[in-house]
Amino acid sequence: MTAGFGKPMRTAGVLLLVSMFFVALWFFVNQAKKPSVKSQAPSLPEAALDRAKDTNYIQHLTAMAREQSQQSMELVKTQNMLTQCVLRVRATLSKNADAEALQAALEKDAVWVKLAAQEKQQQDEAARLRAEAVSTIRQRMQVEAVMQKKQADLHVQKAEKVTTK
């Protein structure tokens, strides 16, 4: 069966167990010697350092994008209705009427006046939404830059502590 291999196999098994014991002991001692990274330098949350990982920020941007998209669709509808008014009024004018005559006729048209005021209001609202989005992004980028600077300072302090020991 094991004709002559019994004693060498037992010896190899014992050596394997002893070596595994020493490797485990060495690993345990090295882990005990390592200083805990968490105790040395507190780390900032990942979302504070990277705005792409901040779910609240992403949700806020998504909501603002939806609002801007809806506002743009309403503006396009209003502009299409304005175009229809221009075509309707132009059809009532003579063929050789110039732009000034068209403008004068449009200013007399109550529907066109109402739609022009609505378009101006929607354009102002769209500009406000864009400015709000730019402001939100700019503020978040500034906060992120400050947090990244703090994180870099923490790493420098950690490195200084290690070199002074």
The model carries a pTM of: 0.61
| Geometric angle at alpha carbon 95, from 89 and 98, rounded to 5° | 75
Question: Block means of pLDDT (10 residues each) for the chain, length 165 residues?
Answer: 59 77 76 56 64 86 93 95 94 90 93 96 95 93 88 84 75
**pLDDT value of residue 161:** 80
Q: CB of 31 within 8 A of CB of 24?
A: no
**pLDDT value of residue 82:** 95
Chain Cα centroid distance, residue 35: 35
